[in-house]
Structure 1
Amino acid sequence: MLITSKAVSIAFLLLATINVAWAEFDCDYFDTVDLSGIQPDSNGSYLYENLLIPAEYTGIYDYKLTGFGDERILVAEHIRGCACKLKSCVRFCCHHNLLLINGECQGNVNEILEYDPKLNITMDDGSVTEKDVLSEFVVQRHLPLPCQETGTYYLDDHDEGYEWSLFENGTFLRKYDGVFFNKSEYCLQPFELNKEIRLFPHNCLIAPSSQLGAKITIPISLLSFLITIGVYLYLPKLRNLHGKCFACYLGSLFVGYLILLLNMYKVLITYLFLCFIAGYVGYFSILAAFFWLNVMSFDLWNSFRSNNVNRYMAGNRFLIYNLYAWGVPLLFTILIFILDQVFFLEPNTDLTWIPGVFYTGCWIKTFDWSGMVYFYGPIWILIIFNTTLFILTAFQIMKVKKELRNIVKHHERKQKLNSDKQEYSFFLRLFLLMGVSWNLFVVSYLMQDKYVWGYIFDITDIFHYCQGGIILVLFVLKRNVYESCRNRIQGKEKSSSVFSQSNRALLKKKSSTFKESSV
């Protein structure tokens, strides 16, 4: 009994000494190693991978980090040692005999994995030295997998544009955007590429800080898209050519936004084939939305012109528009699919110019210039083209208005022009909303590594994700639409067009007559 009491007293004093020493010696969680299962020496020291960790460099923890920021979970009390204060550490995602595949550690820790453990290390004095990280560093392998919120991707420094540096103090530098990561934001782990196992750094995807706002606003936009599409298909007077094009545009945005939201919540990444398909479907949908906006811009401009194109397309416009607005994005999607399949796994391929769908998640790769080539570039070209068409249409309206002053009575002229100006106003509002929003989105991509502008573009990104709600307010939540819905429900609504095609035809006819009489 006396021996037991003495042992308890010694243990209590030892723990008290450790706790006091730990309180005086501050150590970051990511500078520690788990000493569970290791028996201490008589003086309280622990031997971890040939490194002797004194008692004053240890402490008792009752929690572990989850990998989601600073989130903690309570666990049984265990001893951790501040090994990185005694020797340089290297952070592994999991045991060094395992492979990291799709964010999971796979393999057998008892089977030795054959790979070269040597890496170039930038020393504190600035020199670069090749070191065997398994023998010359303390290997940390019990820390939580990083980047649980964003996901990870590996960097292959054999590819131009993907160079990186690992520093002696454990800091990691991603060179293409100059971002430094601490050990909570990256890890090393073997990965099989081109039938060769190599040691790669796996770092966090670039995730906009506006994701929280996006997770709130995108569902609102999705619901708004559905309501707007429903109203435009329900009301006969809105179910004309322009209304159908508008519904196709909103439908494309709906699919693209839905996949983007599922990506943010990491729903698709757990189903690899579904994630693979969703990446290409999302790309196709967003691109198709811009081609439908291009269709509406062209149709508006073409409607004010008297030419053979109008007569040829009179009965086939919607079919032709469908072939164009769905067909061209489909060709783009097939192109990036072929590029990914042919070049992505080829050795010595410059990944900077590969679309890389499924490389960093269920979306096209957007953290380098491939995003501009295959995604933002085509979008910007369409925005510029649409802007040109809107300006030309505005000039055409002013020109026709001036011509009609001499041949049409005031009240008739006012009636005809109001109809066309109403249509132009509809598309002008849509163009300004979409043009400004997506222009800011492209600029945000170009400035993604300029952290000074980060907070500004967080606000613009929230505005971008609110498009559905804004469209609902501008085009549906109006008195005349409400009355049309009420009349439709009561059976009073007649099939008519929100924009008078006959009025426009009369306007062009009188304009043409004026031109002929002037000759």
Structure 2
Amino acid sequence: MMLYFQIGFTFILLLAVLEVHANVNVTVKVNKCCEENEIYLGRYCMKVNKTNEEWRPLFTTDKGIGNLQTNYTLVTGLPDCGHMQLWPIYHYQNSTDRLRLLPNGILRHYFDHSEVPGDELDSEVTNVGGPFHDYEYGKYCLDKKIDGLRSEFAWVCAPEVHTHWLTSTEFLMHNVISPATHGISIACLLAIAVIYFVLPTLRDLTGNIVTTICMCLIVSQTADLIRLLTVFKSHISLLIAETICYLSMLGAFFWLNSMGYYIWKTFRSRNVFLRITDGKKYCYYCSYAWSCTIVLGFLAVFAHFTMDYPDVQYTQNLTFDQQREQIGSLGLIIFFVPVAFTVIADVFFFATTMKTINKMHTYGRIHHKLRHSFRMFILLLLVMTLWWLFFLSSFSKYEGLVNCHIIINAFQGPLVLYVCIFNQKHVAYLIQKMCCYKTFPCCQPDPETEWGDEMTAMNTINNC
């Protein structure tokens, strides 16, 4: 019996020694953003000998005891976040964010917004409390950053935030109401495009421009919806969706500018019976609108990756797939300033055309038709400009302005539907007759008809 007891005790002692030996020789992997002999100087990784600075990981227990002796090995490179966002965290003296590297290689981020006086980066004991989030190996990288002040810097994979949707106004606005408003606008704009494309009498130059504007707005709304959805968090996907959104919006305003120019030029012309057809005019305006849109879009994307302002925080060692997912300030200026210039040009077309109409005493059939197109142009300019201004306000840090844009976005499609369909007696007449004659062939036309509807009414009476 004594022999069995000695054997068991020896076996337990051997296991304890092996465990202690294994714990002593364990090596912790730590992610470093730059190379081993580099740190961040501004936005870029620089050699240590050029900065006279160096970085080494400081391990701290969850109780606040720092400068622990831990075996570690550095793994350089940015974390692989997959579909998640790459998020920067700064830890400097008296900052609201605290970064602590635990002995097991986990990075702990304290985000208590109350200042902790006397907290130094290299202090041995730091009593930091409050809420925190842990990032495992592979979901973060640490380094030193010198940009006006010295700070501990980390790129982390932004964690999923699980919020009860009944108690979060922000969650409701961004994930429930915003997709609904986009869906309403897309449905209304699609109805306009189908009506103007199907009815033969509406496929003139103005009708084709209206169809193109609606298609541009549909693509813009769809890309903006994809950009806002939380499931699409890959950087390259967000960047492509945002670029398509801005390009489509820019194209819509250039096409609206083409409509205003066409109406302005026709009213100023002494001879409206030009030999050039609507098809050729549409090709000319198409080359103007799309060439300006593509060139400006290329310049905006080029400026985003090469010449953007320093406040856009991405680093030189990021690959194309890991660049900042939002278009930078310079890119936004290139996208949105031309829109402002087209609005100013449209206001000029409106003012000068209105003076020309007021001087006219007699109207021909073409001028009578263009007066309806001119009214539609004015209302479209008003609706799209207001929507664009609220869209600009959504870039603000104030949540109220963002919510205003989400609510106003629900009215874009219905207002454009009213301007292009219900406010145009000619279009409403054609839709009414097309739907009525399919069901009741002997339905009588309305006594008041607009331009070009007399033949439709006569054909209907003859068919009855």
TM-score (norm 2): 0.57
Query: Against the structure 1 CA distance between its residues 441 and 50, is the aligned structure 2 distance closer, same or farther, given a 3 Å change threshold?
Result: closer
C-alpha distance in structure 2 between counterparts of 1:378 and 1:184, whole Å = 45
The one of 378, 384, 390 equivalent to 1:428 is 378
The sequence identity of aligned pairs, in percent, is 19
1:12-51 matches, cutoff 5 A? 50-51=61-62
Q: Deviations over 1:350-371 (max 9, x none)?
A: 35599x998443x534xxx436
Aligned to 1:261: 225
Q: Deviations over 1:76-133 (max 9, x none)?
A: xxxxxxx8xx99xxxxxxx999943346799xxxxxxxxxx99532279xxxxxx995
The one of 317, 324, 327 equivalent to 2:281 is 317
The one of 278, 281, 287 equivalent to 2:250 is 287
C-alpha distance in structure 1 between counterparts of 2:354 and 2:303, whole Å = 41
C-alpha distance in structure 2 between counterparts of 1:133 and 1:433, whole Å = 48
1:475 aligns with 2:420: yes
Aligned to 2:14: none
The amino acid across from 2:381 in the alignment is F
1:441 aligns with 2:391: yes
**SS at 2:79's partner residue?**
strand
1:433-512 matches, cutoff 5 A? 433-445=383-395, 448-449=396-397, 451=398, 454-455=399-400, 458-477=403-422, 479-486=428-435
C-alpha distance in structure 1 between counterparts of 2:434 and 2:132, whole Å = 55
**SS at 2:153's partner residue?**
strand
Aligned to 2:339: 379
Q: Deviations over 1:161-208 (max 9, x none)?
A: xxxx9954899xxxxxxxxxx967999942799xxxx83366989xx9
The amino acid across from 1:435 in the alignment is T
1:219-368 matches, cutoff 5 A? 219-270=183-234, 274-306=237-269, 311=274, 314=277, 316-343=280-307, 350=310, 352=312, 359-361=323-325, 364-365=327-328
Query: Against the structure 1 CA distance between its residues 217 and 135, is the aligned structure 2 distance closer, same or farther, given a 3 Å change threshold?
Result: closer
The amino acid across from 2:141 in the alignment is P
Deviation of residue 239 (structure 1)?
1.1
Q: Which moved more, 1:238-247 or 1:304-313?
A: 304-313
C-alpha distance in structure 2 between counterparts of 1:264 and 1:415, whole Å = 47
**SS at 2:93's partner residue?**
strand
Deviation of residue 213 (structure 1)?
2.6
Q: Which has the higher strand share?
A: 1
Q: Is the 8 A contact 2:250 2:293 kept in 1?
A: yes
Gaps of 5+ in 2: 1-58, 67-73, 120-129, 145-151, 160-168, 315-319, 443-448, 453-464
Deviation of residue 226 (structure 1)?
1.4
Deviation of residue 468 (structure 1)?
1.4
C-alpha distance in structure 2 between counterparts of 1:460 and 1:325, whole Å = 26
Q: Is the 8 A contact 2:186 2:222 kept in 1?
A: yes
Q: Deviations over 1:53-72 (max 9, x none)?
A: xxxxxxxxxxxxxxxxxxxx
Deviation of residue 306 (structure 1)?
1.2
Query: Against the structure 1 CA distance between its residues 472 and 436, is the aligned structure 2 distance closer, same or farther, given a 3 Å change threshold?
Result: same
1:200 aligns with 2:154: yes
The amino acid across from 2:378 in the alignment is L
Q: Is the 8 A contact 1:235 1:484 kept in 2?
A: no
Query: Against the structure 1 CA distance between its residues 499 and 302, is the aligned structure 2 distance closer, same or farther, given a 3 Å change threshold?
Result: farther
Query: Against the structure 1 CA distance between its residues 476 and 309, is the aligned structure 2 distance closer, same or farther, given a 3 Å change threshold?
Result: closer
Deviation of residue 244 (structure 1)?
0.5
Q: Is the 8 A contact 1:380 1:442 kept in 2?
A: no
The amino acid across from 1:375 in the alignment is F
Q: Which moved more, 1:413-422 or 1:219-228?
A: 413-422
C-alpha distance in structure 2 between counterparts of 1:358 and 1:294, whole Å = 37
1:216 aligns with 2:180: yes
**SS at 1:466's partner residue?**
helix
Aligned to 1:395: 355
Aligned to 1:66: none
Deviation of residue 436 (structure 1)?
2.2
Aligned to 2:141: 190
Query: Against the structure 1 CA distance between its residues 338 and 121, is the aligned structure 2 distance closer, same or farther, given a 3 Å change threshold?
Result: same
Deviation of residue 292 (structure 1)?
0.8
- Please give the root-mean-square deviation of Cα atoms over the aligned residues, in Å: 5.1
C-alpha distance in structure 1 between counterparts of 2:321 and 2:293, whole Å = 15
C-alpha distance in structure 2 between counterparts of 1:96 and 1:168, whole Å = 31
Query: Against the structure 1 CA distance between its residues 400 and 466, is the aligned structure 2 distance closer, same or farther, given a 3 Å change threshold?
Result: same
Deviation of residue 257 (structure 1)?
0.8
Deviation of residue 337 (structure 1)?
3.0
1:122 aligns with 2:94: yes
Gaps of 5+ in 1: 1-47, 53-82, 88-94, 107-116, 125-130, 147-164, 172-181, 405-412, 501-519
C-alpha distance in structure 2 between counterparts of 1:324 and 1:251, whole Å = 17
Aligned to 1:100: 79
Q: Deviations over 1:367-416 (max 9, x none)?
A: xx436512222222222221221121111110123xx4xxxxxxxx5977
The amino acid across from 1:227 in the alignment is A
Query: Against the structure 1 CA distance between its residues 340 and 393, is the aligned structure 2 distance closer, same or farther, given a 3 Å change threshold?
Result: same
